[in-house]
Amino acid sequence: MASFALLAVAFYMEYQMGLEPCPLCMLQRIVFFCIGVVSLLSALTGSLGVRRFIAWIVVILSLSGAALAVRHLYLQNIPADQLPACLPGLSYMFEVFPWQEIMQAMIMGTGECGDVVSTFLGLSIPDWTLVAFVSMAIINVIIALRTKKRKNIFR
């Protein structure tokens, strides 16, 4: 549920506050969505083995998201003249470029990824996403290593 709540906050920031997401922000949103869907599947199963397996998948996804957040923070902390060039819009890129080049460009980030557009309690958006991804990874390591079977709340 936390990942879906974070997505709701991201969409609020985009559509209500007018903050345009950069390519790294969009990739982090995709990871949050994947974590939410996989975690929902875990909540719907009664098998301890399946839950442990899914928890490890969430750990991998969370660490991938954390790596994207670290890349984002790196871009926010380098001098402006060292930032990668800005890219054309994603809709244009999807029409013209192969998906492999689009993904590579999104992961590498763009000049707009270096802008700190909003902070909360002194931390930027990528700082908060890093906190969320690391927290999700830690929680799911605990779930994966848990030995006692818990009752399924959805049964």
**């819009």: which residue's tokens?**
89
Measured CA angle at 132 (ends 62, 60), to 5 deg? 5
pLDDT at 37: 92
Domain count, the chain: 1
pLDDT at 88: 61
153 domain residue, yes or no: no
98 domain residue, yes or no: yes
Q: With contact defined as beta carbons under 8 Å apart, do 21 and 10 qualify? A: yes
150 domain residue, yes or no: no
The three state secondary structure string of the chain is CHHHHHHHHHHHHHHCCCCCCCHHHHHHHHHHHHHHHHHHHHHCCCCHHHHHHHHHHHHHHHHHHHHHHHHHHHHHCCCHHHCCCCCCCHHHHHHHCCHHHHHHHHHHCCHHHHCCCCEECCEEHHHHHHHHHHHHHHHHHHHHHCCCCCCCCCC
CATH code (residue 111)? 1.20.1550.10
For 3-61, write each residue's pLDDT tens digit. 888 888 888 877 887 777 777 788 888 899 999 999 888 888 877 788 888 889 999 99
80 domain residue, yes or no: yes
101 domain residue, yes or no: yes
pLDDT at 119: 62
152 domain residue, yes or no: no
The parent domain of residue 62 ranges over 2-145
The residue with greater pLDDT, 65 or 126, is 65
103 domain residue, yes or no: yes
Residues sharing a CB contact under 8 Å with residue 70, sequence separation 6 or more, in sequence order = 130
Q: Is the pLDDT of residue 155 over 60?
A: no
151 domain residue, yes or no: no
pLDDT at 147: 60
For 60-115, write each residue's pLDDT tens digit. 999 999 988 888 788 777 766 665 566 666 666 667 777 676 666 666 666 565 56
Q: With contact defined as beta carbons under 8 Å apart, do 52 and 26 qualify? A: no
Residue 151 CA from chain centroid, whole number: 29
